Amino acid sequence: MPIFKRYYIADIPGLGWLGKFYVTHAMHYIFAIILIAFCVYLVLDFALSKKKISGITVSGFVKACIILGLMVSGALMVIKNLPGVYFSYTMIYVMNLSHLGLCMALLAVSFYTLVTKRGWVK
């Protein structure tokens, strides 16, 4: 995001890559790969394990929904970035804003659960 340079964040030693857009693009994809693999592992591992839980917490459910939304909107944006793929203005705008909004929401909910010490499961 150009705003990292504007507000000197990319000037902080070690964070210069935030102002290099092809680097941030690749980093974004690499972390998406790790996130997708990790989420699939966690869900399947939970389904295959004998662990018994009495349910998922409300904040845990909200976070899971946000992460799913991030993965869906992110996947659509990855498709959009492939050569020869054309989305409408509306679709591009909705994808960008929803991905950004969901990211902000995840940060806020994660901060809330960290402070209030709420876990994912009951």
Partner 1 sequence: MTSKISRRVFLKGSFTAAGSVVVSSSVVEAVSSLAKEEIESLVTIIDISKCIGCGECVIACRESNAVKYPQPEKPFPKMFPERVPIQDWSDKKDVTNRLTPYNWLFIQPAFVMVNGEKQEFTIPRRCMHCENPPCVKLCPWGAAKQEPNGLSRIDADLCMGGSKCKKVCPWDVPQRQTGVGLYLDILPALAGNGVMYKCDRCYQKLAKGQTPACIENCPEDVQIIGPRSKMIEHAHLLAGQINGYVYGETENGGTNTIYVSPVPFDQLIFETGKGKPPMKRVDDMMADGNNLARAMLIAPIAGAVAAFSKFYKRIKEDD
Binding site for partner 1 (CB under 8 A): 1-3, 6-8, 21-22, 25-26, 29-30, 32-34, 36-42, 44-45, 48-49, 76, 78-97, 100
Q: Which is nearer to partner 1, 43 or 58 (CB)?
A: 43
Provide CB contacts within 8 A for 27, sequence distance 6+.
17
Beta-bridge mates of residue 121? 56
3-state secondary structure of 56: strand
Give the containing element (helix H, strand E) for 33.
helix 21-48
Q: Closest separation between CB of residue 87 and partner 1, Å? A: 5
Backbone φ and ψ of 118, nearest 5°? -95, 135
Q: Which is nearer to partner 1, 21 or 112 (CB)?
A: 21
Q: Which is nearer to partner 1, 80 or 118 (CB)?
A: 80
3-state secondary structure of 119: coil
Q: Closest separation between CB of residue 114 and partner 1, Å? A: 25
Q: Closest separation between CB of residue 58 and partner 1, Å? A: 26
